[in-house]
Structure 1
Amino acid sequence: MASSRKSVLFVCLGTVVFENTGLFCSTGTSVPGNICRSPIAEAVFKKMATDASVVDKWVIDSGATSDWNTGSSPDARGLACLRKHGIETKHRARQVTKEDFLTFDYILCMDESNLSDLKKKANSVKNSKAKIELLGSYDPEKQLIIKDPYYGHEEDFENVYQQCVRCCKVFLERNS
């Protein structure tokens, strides 16, 4: 990546039932990764950066630490929500790699389990440069956690979208 460009990776993690093994978080449910929250955040941020004429100064992506949905499109409800707001995405789910910790300036995740697990993984990567934070830490309404809408309804995806808009706006203002 060119040194003049900033880079951000939005991450939500797959989960394993009642198990904490490195990258996977312990929530007691089985949720696929990189098809709901993180692609919404990625698409919202790309749109904002494009509208602000700074998209060429950013490398923007999203991922998950599980490979369960690698190559899959985002959840249809998330795509419908984005389309409702005039945003299209060609995103395909991918797994976060060790190289991501070396190349991305920021890795923004969705909840505290994500944050803890990503920080552990970053500690195992020599020369990790990524600043790992909760995307919700940028929310002016102080909603720190971006809840997974996977088992919810369309309005849950709308809530994720609205929170991503608030957070990405502040993040972009502070980092452009």
Structure 2
Amino acid sequence: MAATGTKSVLFVCLGNICRSPIAEAVFRKMATDGGIVDQWRIDSAATSTYEIGNPPDHRGQACMKRHGVPMRHVARQVTKEDFMSFEHILCMDESNLSDLKRKSKSVKDYTAKIELLGSYDPQKQLIIQDPYYDHVGKILWTR
């Protein structure tokens, strides 16, 4: 459980090597720049087991480096404990949301609020597309 006065957020995508570690790194940078990082517990995880133990995708790391955003992460899968220890679990797409809601059913009285990260987008882009595949990745990774 997070310490008293500490807020917590877990970012989730399919493999935890592209979207969610980028969201984690950007959020951590924003919290650091805002002088409130010590008030937050920030992490990311996957709905799948595909990439457990792997670092973030090299293209995402390069993108974050170009923008001066530190990124240190090793892919992991969402655990039952995450549903109890995080206030917010923010996922990238409907498939992640469905997987998380299904997994949460095995956790009695979980406390996390499970939502799409895009629901906080002022431009109302609910779904954060997976940049892993070249047809989308070429757009994201060149920014």
Q: Verify the 8 A CA contact 1:105 1:129 in the aligned structure 2.
A: yes
Alignment of 1:1-176 (within 5 A): 1-13=2-14, 33-152=15-134, 153-157=137-141
Which residue identity lines up with residue 96 of structure 1 in the other structure? V
Per the alignment, do residues 158 and 6 of structure 1 end up closer, same or farther by CA in structure 2, a change over 3 Å counting? farther
- Residue identity over aligned pairs, in percent, reads 66
Per the alignment, do residues 158 and 50 of structure 1 end up closer, same or farther by CA in structure 2, a change over 3 Å counting? farther
Which residue identity lines up with residue 58 of structure 2 in the other structure? A
State the TM-score, normalized to the length of structure 1. Answer: 0.76
Q: Verify the 8 A CA contact 1:77 1:154 in the aligned structure 2.
A: no
- Determine the C-alpha separation between the residues in 2 that align with 1:88 and 1:150: 20
Per-residue CA distance 1:139-175 (angstroms, 9 max, x = gap) = 111111000000123422467xxxxxxxxxxxxxxxx
Q: Verify the 8 A CA contact 1:65 1:96 in the aligned structure 2.
A: yes
Q: Shift of residue 45 of structure 1? A: 0.1
CA RMSD of aligned residues (A): 1.3
Q: Shift of residue 110 of structure 1? A: 0.2
Q: Which runs of 5+ in 2 are unaligned?
A: none
- Determine the C-alpha separation between the residues in 2 that align with 1:143 and 1:107: 18
Per-residue CA distance 1:8-33 (angstroms, 9 max, x = gap) = 000002xxxxxxxxxxxxxxxxxxx0
- Determine the C-alpha separation between the residues in 1 that align with 2:31 and 2:127: 23
State the TM-score, normalized to the length of structure 2. Answer: 0.93
Q: Shift of residue 109 of structure 1? A: 0.1
- Determine the C-alpha separation between the residues in 1 that align with 2:122 and 2:140: 19
Q: Shift of residue 71 of structure 1? A: 1.4
- Determine the C-alpha separation between the residues in 2 that align with 1:72 and 1:12: 14
- Determine the C-alpha separation between the residues in 2 that align with 1:2 and 1:73: 27
- Determine the C-alpha separation between the residues in 2 that align with 1:70 and 1:115: 19
- Determine the C-alpha separation between the residues in 2 that align with 1:117 and 1:72: 21
SS of residue paired to 1:71: coil
- Determine the C-alpha separation between the residues in 2 that align with 1:43 and 1:90: 8
